[in-house]
Amino acid sequence: MTRPLDGITVVSLEHAIAAPFCTRQLADLGARVIKVERPGGGDFARAYDARVAGEASHFVWVNRSKESLTLDLKRPAAQAVLHELVAGADVLVQNLAPGAAARMGLAAEALMAKHPALIVCDISGYGEDGPYRDKKAYDLLIQSEAGFLSVTGTPEAPCKSGNSMADIAAGMYAYTGILAALLQRSKTGKGSHVDVSMLESLAEWMGYPMYYAYNGAPPPPRSAASHATIYPYGPFIAGDGGTVMLGLQNEREWKLFCERVLEQPQLASDPRFDGNARRNANRGALQALILEVFAALDTPQVQERLDAAQIANARMNDMAGLWAHPQLKARGCWREVESPAGSIPALLPPGRQSAFEYRMDPIPALGAHTVSILRSLGRNEADIDALRATEAI
């Protein structure tokens, strides 16, 4: 079997989420990803928690199918190894602190002058230029800078997302940017520089609320788990205490909802509710009517009515519900991957492929591939012992 990125080598100076999520997806498609880590501690995400049989939840998520190489890049001998690896690589990815890569001679312009076919992807909080260039950036800080917190939460208080949204956005755009650069190189023979900022990535995802607030208009209000401007679209409590999420998109669905779910067809033409803008303006009154009907039904009965009326709905799952989700099981989405803690379950990447299978190889222990990589570069045992003696590896 061949995969799209078989034969592509990626060297990554990565930590936390944004760059590792990018490179894991490249590995999913067959790329060889050499993850450069600090001796002793490695990627600091390894120590975030110990929830996966002693391994960190963030780390096991974004680091399967990689090789771990330990190098202390403050030491010249380690930098020499790194530059040798880069010389034979197709892609270099880094999300070090601002300016750190350039201080090691890894600035994109300098590298591409030496290696014209190399693709260099820099992931940072704010990009390589502009007044915020040198600011440190973490996920929550970018959620704040990008305005995400201003439209997420309750009317009383903003709320961050429950996962690393800014990191994920940057990782996705780095991944697709590298794929585009590889396609471009196949046409021109030349590499390129992909400069991805977390702020720009999350700002793209904020397109709807930005345009909603166009030209000084009021932004979407924070409305907890309900949609800010469409109603009814959000969570409703059933009589057994369960929560059902439902959403109406048009007037045809509103009419069906009144007739078949609420069993009050006259509400469809009630002047308070005959149009989304009016339903949104009178959401308190409409919510009370919906909850009165749902109070006499348990969660399955509410969902049965909604399904019969072809009204979109969902359960509000917790993490245990997601692990056990019958749809993921039915579609064969789970695989087992090896890790330092033994075999653990892992989701296949989204998007079934008929032409190839995704790579689902082990999550590496720190430095697990250091010796094999050094040997592949021609280092003998004496050379490797010397690197150990100087703590370069």
Per-residue pLDDT at 224: 87
The pLDDT assigned to 97 comes to 87
State the maximum Cα–Cα separation within the chain, in Å, rounded to a whole number. 86
For the structural domain made of 233-315, what CATH number should be given?
Answer: 3.30.1540.10
Q: Is 58 a catalytic residue?
A: no
Phi-psi group of 312: left, alpha or beta (phi > 0 → left; psi -120 to 50 → alpha; rest → beta)? beta
What pLDDT does 71 receive? Answer: 97
Domain(s) of CATH 3.30.1540.10: residues in the chain: 233-315
Whether pTM > 0.85 for this model: the answer is yes
Among 292, 152, 278, residue whose Cα is nearest residue 236: 292
Homologous superfamily assigned to 9-206+327-389: Crotonobetainyl-coa:carnitine coa-transferase; domain 1 (3.40.50.10540)
What residues does CATH 3.40.50.10540 cover in the chain?
A: 9-206+327-389
Q: Which long-range contacts (CB under 8 A, 24 or more apart) does 38-43 make?
A: 38/70, 38/71, 38/72, 38/73, 39/70, 39/71, 39/72, 39/367, 39/391, 39/393, 40/70, 41/366, 42/68, 42/70, 42/366, 42/367, 43/14, 43/15, 43/16
Query: Given 193, 227, 325, 369, which residue is catalytic?
Result: 227
What residues of the chain score a pLDDT lower than 70? none
Q: What is the pLDDT of residue 326?
A: 95
Give the pLDDT of residue 1. Answer: 81
31-89: pLDDT as tens digits: 999 999 999 999 999 999 999 999 999 999 999 999 999 999 999 999 999 999 999 99
Amino acid at 70: T
